[in-house]
Structure 1
Amino acid sequence: MVDFSLEVSQNKYLPEGSGEVHAVITVTAHDVRPGTPDAPGTAGTAATAGAAEVILLDCSGSMDYPHSKIIEARRAAQAAIDTLHDGVAFAVVAGTGQAEMVYPTRQELVEASPRTREAAKAAVKRLRPHGGTAMGRWLLLARDLMATRPDAIHHAILLTDGQNGESEAVFAAALAACEGRFQCDCRGVGADWKVAELRRVASTLLGSVALLREPAEMVEDFRSLIERAQARGIDRVGLRVWTPKGATIRFLRQVSPELEDLTARAVEVNPLTRDHPTGAWATGTREYHLCVDVPPAPVGNERLAARVSVIAGEDELSRTAVLAAWSEDDELSTRIDEVVAHYTGQTELARAVQGGLAARRDGDEVSAVTLLGRAARIAAAADDGATLERLAKVVDIDDAATGAVRLRPQVDTLDEMDLDAGSTVTMPARR
C-alpha cells in the first residue's frame, strides 16, 4: 500500500490589484506496507497493481554500424528480461520499418518465469539488423499489447540509434493514439538520433529521455529502467486542481525530478475542476509549480486560490490548499518564495539551453551566446555543477556568474546532445 502527503511552498501575499498566485506543491508517496511506519498528514491509501513491460528494440540496418550496437542492444534486452520479476507480463518487439514480435511470437504478453525468460533471451540473441525506422508503428504495437492487460501498470522502453522515417502526420497520430495508454522511457545510442524527437515521445508518454554515448552503457541502463518501473506500484495517479469561479490555471508543471508541462493534459471534471495525469508512482517525491490567476480582492482579504488533491482513479488520497491574501505591505507582497524562485529558474535554465543550442545549429551566434550565457548564469546561481560541466563542453565559460561565454568553434556532437537531453533534469530545491 502507498499513501500520499502534500506540502505547499508559496508567498500568499499579493499587492493590491494583482491576482497572479504561484505555489510549488511537493507530493510525496510513502510506503505503508505492514512493518513500515505510516506517514503523517495523509488522507487515504492506494493498493499496488501488477506490471506489464514491453521492450522496443531498434533493429534497423544502422544498428549494425558499428556491429557493437546490436550486440550490446541484445545484451541490454537480455539483462532487462533477467530483471523482470516473476509474474510480470512482458514482450520484446523488434523495431524496423515494421514492428515485429520477437517474444512471444504471437501478439500477446506472457508472464515472466524462469522458462519464459530463457526463451525470450534465446529469441533476442537471434536478432539481426535490417530495414528502416518507424517508431510510430513500434509504439502502436506496444499499445495493443498493453491493452491485453488492462489492469496492469504499463511501461515500455524504446531504444533507437536513428531518426524516425515516418511522415509527421503518421507519427503524430501514433503518439496521440498511445497517450495515456502506457509510459515510455526513451534511450538514444550514438550521435545519429534527434533529441527533440525522442523528447517528444517521452513527454507525450510521461517518460524520460537520455543519451547513451557508448553501446556498452545499454546493459546497466536497461536494468535500472526495469527496476524503477517495477517499483511503481500505483497507477493512474493525477493531480486534481479546483479553482474558484473567475480564476484560471495559467500553468501546472512538474518541476522535479524532471521538467514536464502538464497544463495541456488537463481533463475537465466540471467547470471549476481539472485533472492532470502524472502516470504511475513508486515511493518518492515529485514537485509541481502551479500558477493561477484569481480575481483580485480588496486589501485585507484572504481567499482560496486553488485546492489541489492527489487522486488515483476517482479516489482522493490527499488534499491541500493554495491561498491568496492582499496586502499593502510591500515587504510582504514582493517577497518571492525561495522554492518557487528556484524552480522558476530551473525552467528558465532548460529553455535557455534548448533555445541556445537551436540558435547555434541555425547559425545565429548572437542568440546562441546570449541564451547559453543566460544558462550559465542561472546554473551558477543554483550551484548546478553538473549543468555547468556540460555547458563547458559546448561553450568557453569566461565568467559563469555574469553569463560571459564564447561559442567553441568545434563541439563534439555527443556533448551537444548530452547537454540538450539533460536540460530537463532539475536540481531539487534547498530547504
Structure 2
Amino acid sequence: MDTGAAPANRDPAGTAAPGPGTAGGASAALEISQWKYLSGRAREPQMHAIVTVRADGTGAGTGGATGPVLAQVLAVDCSSSMAYPQEKLRAAHQAAVAALRLLPDGTPFAVVRGTESASMVYPTTETTVRADARHRAEAERAVHRLVAGGGTCIGSWLDLSRRLLTEADAPIGHVLLLTDGRNQHDDLMPLADVLEACAGRFVCDAWGIGDGWDGRELLRVTGRLHGRASSVQDEAELAHEYERLMHRLLAKSLPELVVSVTPMAGARVRYLKQVFPTEGELDPVGTDGDGTRRFVTRAWGDETRRYQLCLSADPTGRPRGEDLQLAVVALDVPGGGGVELTPPRPCLVHWTDDVALSGHSDVHVEHFEQHRLLGEAVAAATDAHRDGEREAARHHLGRAVRLAHAIGADQALARLERLVEIDDPAAGRVRLRPGVAAVDFEHLITASSHSTYGPASGTADPVAAGGPGAAMLRCPACEGAVPAAARFCPLCGHGLRGRP
C-alpha cells in the first residue's frame, strides 16, 4: 500500500477543496469527506467516505452532442383504475400536455399508453418524432383521447420505452412514468428482467397518483434507472409538478460522468451508492486488472450529487501512526467533451490502536446513515399498519419523526405530520391521526427517499457562505430556502445560475 500525506487543499476533516472551474466552460469537481482512523486490530474493517461530485457551467451541447441532447418518452398509466375518480385521468392528460409543451423544437419524443401491455399513443408507429408546433399539437390531441381500461404491467411500458429511446439515439434518454396502481401483471413481462435490460440506457422518473400505487415499487424502478420517485396527493398538482421536473430535465446537457475507484494493495471496493439528492443503486460497469471499479452516473446539469463509498482493507502488517493511501477516486467524461475535471483524490486510512480515534465516524457518513435508518423506520411502519398493528406503526413513525427532525429532512417530516400529531419531534413522541390510509404510507415512502445534503464542513459545503442571519432566496427547482450566496441548492442539488 502506497503512503502519502493529505494534499495541501484538504481540510482537517479530510475533505478535498473544489478545484478551479474553466471560465465560461464546463467543469466537474470531486470532493471526499471521511474519518480516516480505523482500528488496526479489527478483521477487515470497512472505511466509509462520502464522495461529492459537482458539475458546473454545463451548457447546451456539452458532451460533444451534434444533435438534440434529450429524447423523451411519456408513459401514461391507462389501466381501469385510472377512470375512478375521473380527476385522475384528467390530471394525467393535463400533466402530459404540460410536459409536451415544454419540449424544445427538434427533441425526439413519444407518448406510450400503459396497461397490461404497452402501445403507442403518439406517433402511432413504434418510433419517435421530433418536436415542433405540429407534432406537439397532434400529440396533445392524442393524449386527450386516452381512455382507461386494462391492467398494469410496468415492465412492458419500460421495455417499449427502451426500444424507442434506442432508436432515437440521443445522448440523454428520459422516461417520465405515471401510475396509479400496482404491477399486477408482472408475469407477462417481469420487471426485474426489464430493469436489467434498461439499466444504464436511460433515466426514469416515476410518479404515483391516486391511492393504489406501491411506493417501494416506484423506488425499485427509479433506483435502478437513476431517477426519482415522487407522488401527489392532490391530482390538480400533477401538471405543475411535471413542469418543474421538465425544467430541471431540460437543464441537463452532460450525458454521463464516470466515477472510478482504484483500491491499493490489500483494499477492496465493496460498493458506491448515491445518497443525495435521492438514494440509488450504482453497479460497476467493469473491473480493470488493478481492481479499478467504474460507476456510470447519468444526465447531469449544474448540480451536486453525493455518493457513499465503502472500502474494506486488511491492517495486517501495515504501519501505524501515519496516513496511508487506501484508494484513489477520479472522475471521467466518456468522449471528453471539453469538461475540466479536478485531479483524482485519495481516500486515506490511518491505522490506530487508539479506540478513542477509531470509534468515531465522519459526520457526513453519519448523516446518510441516519437517512438510511429513516427509510427503514418508514418501511417498518408501513408493514405494521398493513398488518393492522397500529401501536407498532405509531412506534416506528415516532422513530422516523425523531430521525427526520435530527437530520433536517423537512419533506419527510411534512409527510409524517400527515400521519401523526407530533408532541416532541426530538424525542419522537407522536400520536397516530385517525383515518390514516394505506396510501399515506406510500407517499411517505417516496418522500423518505429524498435526502438532504448534510452538515456544513468548510469548503465541502456548497452553501457554506450562508450562515445564521444570511439572506435567503427560493430554489426555482424545489422551492426550498437557499442562502442568497449559494451556487447550488442544499436540498435538491439544483445549480443556481448567476449566483456568485
One fold, TM greater than 0.5? Answer: yes
Structure 1 position 31 matched with structure 2 position 57: yes
**Which segment drifts farther, 316-325 or 6-15?**
316-325
Deviations 1:122-156 (A, max 9, x none): 22222222222222111111011011122431001
Q: Which amino acid aligns with 1:295?
A: D
How many residue pairs get aligned? The number is: 419
2:371 to 346, 352, 361: 346
* Match runs of 1:6-405 below 5 Å: 6-18=30-42, 19-31=45-57, 46-47=63-64, 50-168=69-187, 170-262=190-282, 265-271=283-289, 272-296=291-315, 297-313=318-334, 317-318=341-342, 319-364=344-389, 367-405=392-430
DSSP-derived class of the 2:27 partner: strand
Q: Structure 1 407/4 Cα, relative in aligned 2: closer, same or farther at 3 Å?
A: same
Summarize the Cα distance change of 1:413–1:366 in structure 2 as closer, same or farther, 3 Å threshold: closer
| TM-score calculated relative to the size of structure 2 | 0.78
Calculate the aligned-residue CA RMSD, in Å.
Answer: 2.4
Identity, % of aligned pairs? 38
Q: Which amino acid is 2:437 matched to?
A: D
Deviates more, 1:63-72 or 1:417-426: 63-72
Task: Name the SS for the 2:269 alignment partner.
Answer: strand
Residue identity in the other structure for 1:300:
G
Identify if the C-alpha distance between structure 1 residues 59 and 33 changes in structure 2 by more than 3 Å, giving closer, same or farther.
closer
Letter aligned with residue 366 of structure 2: A
Q: Distance in 1 between matches of 2:439 and 2:147?
A: 26
- Please give the secondary structure, in 2, of the residue aligned with 1:147: helix
Does the 8 Å CA contact 2:213/2:439 hold for their aligned counterparts? Answer: no
Q: Distance in 1 between matches of 2:115 and 2:412?
A: 35
Q: 1:344 offset after TM fit, Å? A: 1.7
Equivalence for 1:37: none
Q: Which consecutive unaligned segments of at least 5 residues does structure 1 have? A: 35-44
Compared CA separation, residues 314 and 369, structure 1 to 2 (3 A): farther
> Residues of 2 paired with 1:298 and 1:367: CA distance?
49
1:398 & 1:410 partners in 2: Cα distance? Answer: 19
Q: Secondary structure at the match of 2:124?
A: coil
The superposition leaves residues 204-231 of structure 1 with CA deviations (integer Å, 9 ceiling, x where unpaired) of 2111111121221221122222222222
CA separation of 1:117 and 1:404: change in aligned 2, threshold 3 A: same
- Relative to structure 1, the CA distance from residue 241 to residue 218 in structure 2 (aligned partners, 3 Å threshold; closer, same or farther) is same
Contact 2:71 2:170 in 1 (8 A): no
TM-fit CA distance, 1:295: 1.6
Aligned CA distance change for structure 1 residues 321 and 75 (closer, same or farther; 3 Å) = same
Measured after TM superposition, the shift of residue 313 of structure 1 is: 2.5
Shift of 1:331: 4.6
* Structure (1/2) with the larger strand percentage: 1
Structure with the bigger percentage of helix: 1
Distance 2:252 2:79 in 1: 31
Q: What CA deviation, in whole Å up to 9, does each residue of 1:9-41 have, x standing for no partner? A: 11212233244212111100011669xxxxxxx
Q: Deviations over 1:214-258 (max 9, x none)?
A: 221221122222222222111132321111233222332211111
Cα shift readout 1:325-379 (whole Å, capped 9, x = no counterpart): 1235555433322222212212221222222222332345565444333222222
**For structure 1, which segment, 220-229 or 383-392, has the greater mean C-alpha deviation from structure 2 after superposition?**
383-392
- Aligned residue for 1:148, secondary structure, equals helix
Q: Is the Cα contact below 8 Å between 1:394 and 1:411 reproduced in 2?
A: yes
Contact (CA 8 Å) 2:222, 2:280: kept in 1 or not? Answer: no
Greater mean deviation of Cα atoms: 277-286 or 163-172: 163-172
Change beyond 3 A, Cα 1:162–1:58: same
Change in Cα spacing, 1:100 to 1:383, as seen in structure 2 (3 Å) is: closer
Does 1:420 find its partner at 2:453? no
Unaligned stretches of 5+ in structure 2?
1-24, 457-500
Q: Contact conserved, 1:2 with 1:46, CA < 8 A, in 2?
A: no
Q: Is the 8 A contact 1:184 1:205 kept in 2?
A: yes
